[in-house]
Amino acid sequence: MFESGEGRNKWILRTSNIRCASARAKPAPPDELYCFDYQGRLLEGKGQVPWEIPLYTNIYRARPDVGSIVHAHPPLTIALGISGETIRPVHQLSACFAAGVPTFGGDLINSEELGKKVAETLGDKRAILLVGHGAVTVGSDVPEAVTTALLMEETARLQLLAAAAGKVRTMPPEILNPDIKSAARFIWRFLEWEEESGAAPRLR
């Protein structure tokens, strides 16, 4: 999970498989935190630097509205992408995908060229599906980016089930909940409750 720093002079990277609410509820171990500038230079942190830094730096530079980025490898989202499909607004809480979820080849995004292409493909959308690789979601803050990632995997699950049963139909715009930010905060509060109970889902 990724969150930009103050004044957009630097950003913080947290690695590892984490519970979705725990980034806010619990301090991260020092070996899971890195601090970079927006050119991808390491400012703080020790150990092996993650390979895909250009993915994040290029999105942050292209999107001043983005305050947090999540990159994960959710299995159902990956399966949906492999099938040639993408995420669609098929349930009430999927309004964040109504503008579309673009797809990008499943390369390891470890070069400036690929990072720039991902940012360009993402455009002004909230998510991008990396075919055979994973997903990237963005938000104004951590709760928004994390809940979008969770909704992406849940939407992929429903689409795969619907495809197995018959035709996948998108929801009419008037049924979708248009208040994406409020929905994200509601889900985030629910995740915090689940975290306390030990039942919170993990992003891979």
Indicate left, alpha or beta for 133 from its phi (over 0: left) and psi (-120 to 50: alpha): alpha
The 10s digit of each residue's pLDDT in 149-180 is 999 999 999 999 999 999 999 988 888 877 77
The 10s digit of each residue's pLDDT in 111-135 is 999 999 999 999 999 999 999 999 9
In the prediction, which pLDDT does 168 show? 92
Pairing of strands 2-4, 11-14: antiparallel
**Residue-range domains of the chain with CATH:** 2-197 (3.40.225.10)
